[in-house]
């Protein structure tokens, strides 16, 4: 019975598409471990090796494939007239590449950290630099022969901890002066030791009359203004605030800080970085400097995997048309969104904060619950607009196969049910042919940690197993 349920829950095979020209200009490998995982062998595939480094890319602001990126027209240009970026990368591949399955399992990190890799392999160690034999867990992905890719995309990912970062440009005014505009910070205080609140973007002025700090216990409470004599900027650069007199922020309180910020990062560059890395790995032989594509010939199909936050990013990735690369080909063939709900991400905005997440009592004022929620085209009676998450990729025949897997929490907190009904609350017909969705039951401890729940692990494994009749 379990086998039949797993088969029913899995996506059918994905077609291999034509090569596409990627805009990765340089791939730099700075560290190689061969073998990695202490030389552990994974069935008939054998041992793996690890490549760590970064890639450099550039975007043409005039290309329609990039025009959806907020503020790209205001990003500085390099000598080629393009917008440049750099992102971290890690590749795990079979040492004997002829024994691999010549497909890529591409993890989209959660705030810079690897969550999907330990889940799929039931690994309890390794963090963002899996190295030892135990860090491979049960070795599921490696035993299937996948080449594994991890890269940065989130401009708000915190530094350190071997997290995967992306360096994106800062938008400026046409005259070269800094862009200044309103920004909101929310500080959720769960202890009695928090002494300062960091700002995502520096304040444009230290004049406290240009900012407002409020506090409340619950989001529906009327906020109380913290008068200007009770708070101050923590440094001359305006990168944090604190309460006057070395007083900690009040435990169990939501603080909101509205201020004039400067130097917005072009956060939407992260969408293009994912697209272009996938296209480079699929089709390029070498980069512009002659460095060899480390997965040349081993990316006949590319499947993304994620947990929570990056899955919400993938909703917007598809909606904004980023699965079409600059030559019009498909970037990724399959998308497995694990507990991503039905919402988007606060990313393609000026003064974006992709790390934010909308919950029952926090993050309520940041744009995440935005139309469209459905894959099908629907008319929104509030705005009068007709749209669907797959509208753009459907037009260009670049939609991937999609598998949405969500827990009860995601129906409650992340609006998953709204993706399955129309504007009148009536159930939609079947999803488009390229989409499958499944509800799952997960205990809290394994929602975002190493998943040892048999049903959850079995579903993920069946999606990628070479032995599964219906699979990616």
Reported as a single tens digit per residue, the pLDDT across 67-118 is 999 999 999 999 999 999 999 999 999 999 999 999 999 999 999 999 999 9
Tokens 């090569």, located at residue: 19
Q: What is the distance between the alpha carbons of residues 302 and 330, in angstroms, rounded to a whole number?
A: 10
Q: What is the distance between the alpha carbons of residues 271 and 403, in angstroms, rounded to a whole number?
A: 19
User: Nearest to residue 263, comparing CAs of 184, 194, 179?
Assistant: 179
- 345, pLDDT greater than 80: yes
CB contact at 8 A, 132 and 167? no
Higher-confidence residue: 295 or 456?
Answer: 295
* CATH 3.40.50.1820 correct for 2-169+266-464: yes
- 120, pLDDT greater than 70: yes
Residues 148-187: b if buried by 16+ CB within 10 A, e if exposed: bbbbbbbbbbeeeeebbbbebbbbbeeeeeebbeebebbb
Task: State the Rg of the chain over Cα.
Answer: 23
Stretch 283-297: mean pLDDT, rounded? 97
How sure is the predictor about 424, in pLDDT bands with cuts at 50, 70 and 90? confident
First to last CA, the chain: 21
How sure is the predictor about 472, in pLDDT bands with cuts at 50, 70 and 90? low
Name residues whose C-beta falls within 8 Å of residue 256's C-beta, 6 or more positions apart in sequence.
184, 185, 186, 187, 213, 214, 215, 216, 223, 365
Residue ranges of the chain that CATH labels 3.40.50.1820 = 2-169+266-464
Tokens 């959720």, located at residue: 188
> What is the model's pLDDT at position 468?
43
- 281, pLDDT greater than 60: yes
The CA-based diameter of the chain, rounded to the nearest angstrom, is 68
Stretch 216-231: mean pLDDT, rounded? 96
Let me know if 101 is exposed, middle or buried by CB neighbors in 10 A (0-12, 13-18, 19+): middle
Reported as a single tens digit per residue, the pLDDT across 13-61 is 333 333 334 489 999 999 999 999 999 999 999 999 999 999 999 999 9
Let me know if 5 is exposed, middle or buried by CB neighbors in 10 A (0-12, 13-18, 19+): middle
Q: What is the distance between the alpha carbons of residues 209 and 203, in angstroms, rounded to a whole number?
A: 12
- 404, pLDDT greater than 80: yes
CB contact at 8 A, 40 and 136? yes
CB contact at 8 A, 164 and 90? yes
The share of the chain scoring above pLDDT 90, in percent, equals: 79
The token pair that represents 251 in the structure block: 């435990």
CA distances from 368 to 40, 359, 404 (A): 42, 10, 18
> What is the model's pLDDT at position 451?
45
Q: What is the distance between the alpha carbons of residues 419 and 370, in angstroms, rounded to a whole number?
A: 12
How sure is the predictor about 430, in pLDDT bands with cuts at 50, 70 and 90? confident
- 325, pLDDT greater than 50: yes
């Amino acid at each position: 019975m379990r086998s039949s349920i797993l088969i029913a829950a899995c996506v059918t095979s994905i077609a291999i598409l034509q090569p596409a020209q990627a805009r990765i200009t340089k791939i730099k490998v700075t560290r190689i471990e061969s073998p990695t995982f202490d030389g552990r062998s994974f069935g008939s595939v054998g041992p793996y090796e690890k490549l760590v480094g970064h890639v450099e890319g550039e975007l043409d602001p005039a290309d329609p494939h990039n025009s959806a990126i907020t503020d790209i027209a205001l990003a500085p240009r390099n000598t080629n007239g393009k917008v440049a970026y750099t992102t971290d990368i890690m590749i795990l591949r079979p040492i004997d590449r002829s024994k691999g399955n010549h497909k890529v399992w591409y993890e989209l990190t959660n705030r810079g950290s690897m969550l999907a890799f330990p889940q799929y392999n039931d690994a309890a160690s390794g963090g963002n630099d899996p190295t030892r034999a135990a860090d491979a867990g049960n070795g599921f992905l490696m035993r299937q022969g996948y080449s594994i890719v991890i890269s940065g995309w989130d401009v708000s990912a915190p530094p350190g901890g071997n997290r995967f970062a992306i360096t994106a440009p800062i938008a400026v005014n046409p005259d070269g002066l800094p862009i200044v505009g309103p920004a909101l910070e929310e500080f959720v205080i769960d202890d009695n030791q928090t002494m300062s609140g960091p700002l995502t973007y520096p304040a444009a002025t230290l004049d406290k009359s240009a900012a407002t700090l409020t506090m409340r216990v619950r989001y529906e409470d009327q906020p109380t203004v913290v008068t200007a004599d009770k708070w101050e900027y923590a440094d001359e650069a305006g990168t944090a605030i604190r309460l006057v007199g070395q007083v900690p922020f009040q435990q169990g309180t939501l603080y909101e800080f509205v201020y004039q910020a400067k130097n917005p990062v072009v956060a939407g560059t992260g969408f293009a970085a994912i697209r272009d890395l996938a296209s480079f790995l699929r089709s390029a032989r070498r980069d512009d400097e002659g460095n060899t594509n480390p997965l040349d010939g081993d990316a006949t199909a590319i499947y993304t995997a994620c947990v929570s936050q990056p899955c919400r990013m993938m909703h917007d990735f598809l909606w904004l048309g980023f699965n079409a690369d600059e030559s019009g080909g498909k970037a990724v063939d399959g998308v497995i969104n694990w507990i991503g709900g039905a919402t988007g991400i606060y990313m393609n905005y000026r003064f974006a904060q992709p790390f934010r997440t909308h919950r029952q009592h926090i993050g309520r004022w940041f744009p995440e619950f935005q139309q469209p929620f459905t894959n099908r085209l629907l008319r929104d009676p509030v705005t009068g607009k007709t749209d669907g998450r797959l509208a753009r990729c459907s037009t260009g025949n670049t939609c991937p196969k999609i598998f949405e897997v969500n827990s009860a929490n995601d129906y409650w907190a992340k609006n998953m049910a709204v993706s399955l009904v129309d504007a009148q609350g009536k159930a939609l017909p079947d999803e488009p042919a390229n989409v499958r969705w499944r509800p799952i039951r997960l205990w809290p401890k394994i929602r975002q940690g190493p998943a040892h729940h048999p049903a959850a692990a079995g579903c993920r494994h069946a999606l990628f197993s070479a032995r599964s009749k219906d699979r990616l």
